[in-house]
Amino acid sequence: MNIAYAFKKSQDLCRSSLKLIGLKLHERWTPERLQDYQRRRLRALFAHAVRRSPFYRELYQNIKIGPEVQLQELPVITKAMMMDAFDRFVTDTRLKLADLQTHIRDLSCDTYYLGEYRVLTTSGSSGFKGVFVFNRKEWSTLIAGYSRCSLSTGKLPRFPRRLRECSIFTDNPAHLSCRIKISSGTPLVLSKHLNAASSIAFLVAELNAFQPHVLSTYPSMASLLAVEQIEGRLKIHLELVATGGETCTGEMTASIQKAWGIIPFNVYASTEGGAFNIGCPFHRGIHAAEDLTILEVVDRNNRPVPAGRAGSKVLLTNLFNYTQPLIRYEISDMLTLSEERCPCGRPFRLIAGVEGRYDDILYFPDSRGHSVPVHPVHFITALGIIPDIKESRVIHEQDGLVIDVVLRDTGDKTKVVDAIKTNLAASLKIQGIELPETRVLFTDHIERNPETMGKFKLVESGMKKPATGAPP
Ligand SMILES: [Zn+2]
């Protein structure tokens, strides 16, 4: 191992351990103290962005700021705005988009850019790819947030019978799920990373050989492996399943619980925020890491959506990334904040649900020819309640729906086709839509796309969305 790299990495990890102590103390704050902290951090971030980023200086030039920054009065930033103006957006003039993209293309491990930065990209599953840069101090904060999230599951590093942890996401270090594991690895935990785009047979063989105590992966992958466990091909004894990156449906949770007798911990993190929100043993939702980010749940017109209702998107303000300040940055995740406070006493609000992405919505004509938006949850539920289906994917094409289905061993094809059409017709009818032409294709497995980090979209549109057909 390169000695200079090893030295820098240990420095970063030491800094993150100190930061972790601070983050754990924040969990004892009152909501009022947290809000006061957010106000001060926002004020500092705003001042830095105006001073060091030509993009923000220009964007905010006509905005009068009093002693307090009123977040809701600031304009929303989109990925397109940020990427178009990238070289003027970041606060270090040495960071140029073209060079960073070359660095990402050639990245094979946890390499520092300019000896200082870690560069990430997003999967691009919802459009073009974003690029995100963190300096060493910011990366230490990111690791501290990740460690806090891991600690909240109750699984602590142990000795001499060390914890064996396997993660199945992507093997590309330009993606957060892979990079965080490489850059935060310690000898106290035996880690293994597998690529979600591998075949199930390969993953089962690797897991049987490694015998992990902890499994972190997409919920669709965890539930697929749960079937392997239930049917006897996979034989591992998990103490913890952590899922993230996709919607975890009730059926997936039930399947995981049946296989290993444990409720999965859902993790919600975004590359943009670089913050890992915190699972809670009370399983009432996920605590937003509000000492690291501010999340505004809004409708499609950026108006606040009250707790208890799903928003169309999230406006994210990252309170610790000063290299690439993100202030009211639009993310298409549809979140619902809980109306309740959690009995665990943390001051952070609970995210009650992460219901897919705004751009997963499909549109169908009703009887009057009007375009009606249909949330992916309708398809997920209609197919999820059919016990003979092991895995499925819905694709909306010009001439109707194409549904790929992997059957369980005991499944009857005719009965499954009938059940799919009956359930979908009933679900769409409630919204005034007639079931379009539906083709069910049976297959041995559904390919995971390495381009999207092996992430699995349960519902996809193969068509352009109508110009006026945004969700309500
Ligand atoms: Zn809690």
What separation in Å is there between the alpha carbon of 27 and the centre of ligand 1? 10
pLDDT, tens only, 89-137: 999 999 999 999 999 989 989 999 999 999 998 865 444 678 999 999 9
**pLDDT above 70: percentage of residues in the chain:** 92
Residue 468 Cα to ligand 1 middle (Å): 40
Confidence (pLDDT) at 125: 47
The pLDDT of residue 375 is 67
Contact between 170 and 155 (Cβ < 8 Å) = no
Q: How far is the CA of 137 from the centre of ligand 1 (A)?
A: 28
Calpha distance 306→314 (Å, rounded): 13
Ligand 1 midpoint to CA 33 (Å): 18
pLDDT reading at 305 higher than 70: yes
- Quote the ligand 1 centre to 334 CA distance (angstroms): 21
Compute, in angstroms, the gap from residue 44 CA to the centroid of ligand 1: 29
In the predicted structure, residue 241 carries a pLDDT above the cut 90: yes
On average, the pLDDT of the chain sits at: 87
Q: Phi-psi region for residue 302, left (φ > 0), alpha (ψ -120 to 50) or beta? A: left
Confidence check: pLDDT of 456 > 80: no
- For residue 281, how far is its CA from the centre of ligand 1 (angstroms)? 7
Alpha-carbon distance 11 to 16, whole Å?
A: 9
Ligand 1 center to 152 CA (angstroms): 9
pLDDT at 42: 96
pLDDT over 50 (residue 330): yes
Ligand 1 centroid vs 455 CA: distance in angstroms? 28
pLDDT value of position 269: 83
Res 277 pLDDT > 50: yes
pLDDT in tens, 27-67: 999 999 999 999 999 999 999 999 999 999 999 998 877 78
pLDDT over threshold 60, residue 222: yes
Whole-number pLDDT of residue 406: 86
Q: What's the 186 CA to ligand 1 centre distance in angstroms? A: 27
Q: Would you say residue 194 has pLDDT above 70?
A: yes
Give phi and psi for 6, each to the nearest 5: -60, -40
CA of 413 to the centre of ligand 1 (A): 43
Going from the Cα of 350 to the center of ligand 1, the distance in angstroms, rounded, reads 7
Could you give the domains of the chain?
Answer: 3-143+268-358 (3.40.50.12780), 153-267 (3.40.50.980), 361-461 (3.30.300.30)
Centroid of ligand 1 to alpha carbon of 269 (angstroms): 17
Residue 167 or 384, more confident: 167
Please enumerate, as own/partner, the contacts of 230-235 that have beta carbons within 8 Å and a separation of 24 or more.
230/255, 230/258, 230/259, 231/409, 233/204, 234/204, 234/207, 234/208, 235/208
Residue that wins the pLDDT comparison between 122 and 212? 212
User: What CA–CA distances, in Å, run from 150 to 156, 279, 335?
Assistant: 8, 8, 22
Q: What average pLDDT does the segment 312-318 reach?
A: 93
pLDDT given at position 1: 60
Task: Report residue 370 as tokens.
Answer: 């009007």
Give the residue with greater pLDDT, 37 vs 449.
37
Q: Which residues, in sequence order, are CB contacts of 412 under 8 Å at separation 6+?
A: 388
Ligand 1 centroid vs 211 CA: distance in angstroms? 30
Distance 68 CA to ligand 1 centre (A): 30
> What value does the mean pLDDT take over residues 283-292?
91
Separation of CA 285 and ligand 1 centre (Å): 8
Q: What spacing in Å lies between the alpha carbon of 458 and ligand 1's midpoint?
A: 29
Distance 288 CA to ligand 1 centre (A): 10
Displacement of CA 63 from its chain's centroid (Å): 33
* Residue 213 scores a pLDDT above 90: yes
pLDDT at 138: 97
Residue 359 CA to ligand 1 center (angstroms) comes to 30
Is the confidence at residue 452, as pLDDT, over 60? Answer: no
Å from CA of 280 to ligand 1 middle = 5
User: Residue 453: what pLDDT?
Assistant: 54
Q: How far is the centre of ligand 1, averaged over its atoms, from the C-alpha of 343 (Å)? A: 6
What pLDDT sits at residue 226? 92
Q: Which of 14-28, 155-169, 347-361, 390-404 has the lowest mean pLDDT?
A: 347-361
pTM of the model: 0.80
The mean pLDDT value for 377-391 works out to 77
What are the backbone dihedrals phi and psi of residue 454, each rounded to the nearest 5 degrees, phi first? 75, 10
Give residue 131 CA to ligand 1 midpoint distance, Å. 32
C-alpha 40 to ligand 1 mean position (Å)? 25
Task: Give 358's pLDDT tier (boundaries 50, 70, 90).
Answer: low
Residue range 224-243: mean pLDDT, rounded: 92
Pairing of strands 214-217, 163-169: parallel
Which residue did the predictor score with more confidence, 211 or 182? 211
